[in-house]
Structure 1
């Protein structure tokens, strides 16, 4: 997984102490409404806006919400990150110790699951609530690297007075998200936090690299699981004459017989033994296997899905497809969420050149757009069509919007999405979209 160029908190060549003083003046001006000596970075400005809506007092930020020790242990056991925690610790703990930082690992809600670092620095974390079991999302503690990273879905560094709550101005933090390589789902984040005097642009690059390394290791674990499932499935498939494939619980194909390979199948949201309509396969029978499913596509055509819902109201976009054969859901990547939203608005379709302009602000990224839509159509075959790219005329498309326009794909800088933010009101949540309709 690759990230765009990292947006570090300390400008190149800037004196850290002088920049911290400038940020304090910017922070004060933002709270008082006085003219500001400079604008905060866009990612910080957007986060401050969200934090104000949460009603957080910059002078008395609320103590982080906590869970019981029993609940913390349960969440640790349930977190896929636990499988790569030794790798994360080997990569970061010694570096964090030397740099007077603590290392934190959170889940997707911003709850700190693990904390490592020298005793002296952990004591500093105790004073501000950077402790295991505490929530550090923006709704709990305002603008901070953990919470803001989880909102925008990319690495974020927050320095000194970029934190909304004044008691955090003595800190510098760098954080990067960890996604499940199987389906792109946000699993949590890795953060290193230390005294403001330890700020360094390379910290963000280091944390980002470790997050990508953790994702690569999770991918390797997944491949091992598919190999085991393939071994289980081989005797079962050997004697079959009809089309069939074996997938794991997230729909990744382990083995196939008498048909073209399909890299991944989107399984129904609450799949169980029986029949279901699946993208690109049609009506299928599903039978459980240890660690996966046996899928047999049926030869006859059957009912297609009737409704597609793109839910953008929560912390992560979701696509739900419903029809006479059941209901299933998919977590699109941030780029795919952008494309689906644009296609929902433009029901008559968009060419690759038009989508290039919508997403990148120029028509020179047609190849990239086509590649992304090819990946998207692997998941949504029969729902998203091409020439031009569009939703099938047979489905009703609904978009569920956030309460506030600025929360519409907040991590997106695509011109088409930014234009939509200015057009969408906060009073409507679920919008049926007709041809060329944006509201």
Structure 2
């Protein structure tokens, strides 16, 4: 019978070389279909399964084309992670350099945007293709400390032959995702990597803690910016007799008058001054403010019917589109929100929080997390979703667009209900 995965973790703490040999045997057994004397850790075994299904070749060092320097600069300018680089450097770089590691920061698409630390380790990273602008998504280069944490949404350490591609098995890395504290959206991954002999079991907790510090700093910046916008918007709202609200460029509310206070209003990417239609507010006039917008909803009767299109046919860009005859609005979905809306489209009678928790996590007790995610979804679809149980409103006509290949249905999702749905969609042999 295979020993517990904990065995290798304990062994690596005292004998790195021996642990690496054991994991090499486990990897070879997996690739050849033999029974291993040691079970891989669940997070690694699940990742290996995903990349095998995705066609990654474990014996071929496949490297996607590097971004050019100008594109790296552009992405750095757009990345919210630029605001927390001082936090990441203070928490990671000095220690990483001293322990022969490097710090790597990648964006949500797995592209390496920053690298700092030991010069000798940076040169070794170059030899692995772990360079600025490189694509380290799990679906491209296999199980690794950048792509795998992005898929599973939590910190992951990948040690030696836990890497899927053979050329990476002399490496060890620990990565943690950094999420937008406002809505849970993945912003990128921070990773500490180095040669095999630099591995330490405490590295994962260290990297995870610094990632949480970065998220806390982003939350502080958000609250500070809303306070500035509130100061600008308060005298404007005071002069308005009807309904109005002040929101920042991402739709977060700084102040309202004459209406309930929504935490966030979903805005189109190309909002401009004039008139537009928003799903939760209807027809609105839009006026620019310093750092945000003044929205003034028009008084109009609610519309009886709405068409909602959940488009999952493009695996990397799932979206929801709302159309009610007077206009349309499209919102790109995170993986978690795409999972939730797929489940509600499949179960028109609705799902309770416990059922959603079972569907997403295999644990009906995780209702707090399920409710929090549904609360985020209702910020932009609140007018079209009911609760107790959660469901689309009766007047909504819901269309579900699925990919031609069942394996492309939310391919990076590990939610039990999504895995079952993929299997059910596969035609019989």
TM-score, structure 2 as length reference: 0.87
Q: CA deviation at 1:375?
A: 4.3
Measured after TM superposition, the shift of residue 298 of structure 1 is 1.8
Paired position in structure 2 for 1:92: 92
Q: Which residue of 2 aligns with 1:152?
A: 152
Counterparts of 1:158-237 in structure 2 under 5 Å? 158-237=158-237
Unaligned ranges ≥5, structure 1: 1-7, 428-439
Q: For the structure 1 residues 370 and 189, does the alpha-carbon distance in structure 2 shift closer, same or farther, using more than 3 Å as the test?
A: closer
1:309 aligns with 2:310: yes
Matches within 5 A, 1:200-279: 200-279=200-279
Say whether residues 1:379 and 2:380 are aligned partners: yes
Instruction: Tell me what 2:111 maps to.
Output: 111
**Where does structure 2 lack aligned partners over 5 or more consecutive residues?**
none
> Do the aligned partners of residues 417 and 181 (structure 1) sit closer, same or farther apart at CA in structure 2, a change above 3 Å counting?
same
Pair 1:70 & 2:70 matched: yes
**1:13 aligns to 2:10 (yes or no):** yes
State how 1:386-405 maps to structure 2 within 5 Å: 386-401=387-402, 405=406
Q: CA deviation at 1:335?
A: 4.6
Alpha-carbon spacing, 1:404–1:200, altered in 2? closer, same or farther (3 Å): farther
The question of whether the paired residues in 2 share the 8 Å contact of 1:313 and 1:403 is answered with: no
Task: Give the equivalent residue in structure 1 for 2:43.
Answer: 43
Q: Deviations over 1:228-260 (max 9, x none)?
A: 222222222221101100101111001111222
**1:285-336 C-alpha deviation (Å, 9 max, x unpaired):** 2223232111112222244642232537434654333333433344556554
**Matching residue of 2:329:** 328
**2:340 aligned with 1:343, yes or no?**
no
1:353·1:363 contact (CA, 8 Å) conserved in 2?
yes
Structure-1 residue corresponding to 2:127: 127
SS of equivalent residue, structure 2 residue 382:
coil
Larger CA deviation: 20-29 vs 372-381: 372-381
Choose 248-257 or 343-352, whichever is displaced more.
Answer: 343-352
Aligned to 1:40, what secondary structure does the other structure show? Answer: coil
Structure 1 contact 170–195 (Cα < 8 Å) conserved: yes
Is the Cα–Cα contact under 8 Å of residues 309 and 321 in structure 1 kept in the other structure?
no
Contact 2:266 2:379 in 1 (8 A): no
Contact residue 272 and residue 286 of structure 2 kept, 8 A: yes
Distance in structure 2 (CA, Å) of the matches to 1:172 and 1:367: 34
Name the count of aligned residue pairs: 420
Distance 2:375 2:158 in 1: 36
Distance 1:53 1:281, change over 3 A: same
CA shift, 1:422, in A, is: 2.0
Q: 1:324 to 1:387 in 2, by over 3 A?
A: same
Q: 1:419 to 1:181 in 2, by over 3 A?
A: same
Determine helix, strand or coil for the equivalent of 1:86.
helix
Quote the offset at 1:217 in angstroms.
Answer: 1.1
Displacement after TM superposition at 1:355 (Å): 3.3
For the 8 Å contact 2:306–2:397, the answer to whether it is kept is no
Shift of 1:271: 2.6
Alignment TM-score, normalising by the size of structure 1: 0.85
Contact persistence 1:51–1:138 (CA under 8 A):
yes
Which residue of the partner structure matches residue 436 of structure 1?
none
Secondary structure, in 3 states, of the residue corresponding to 2:134? coil
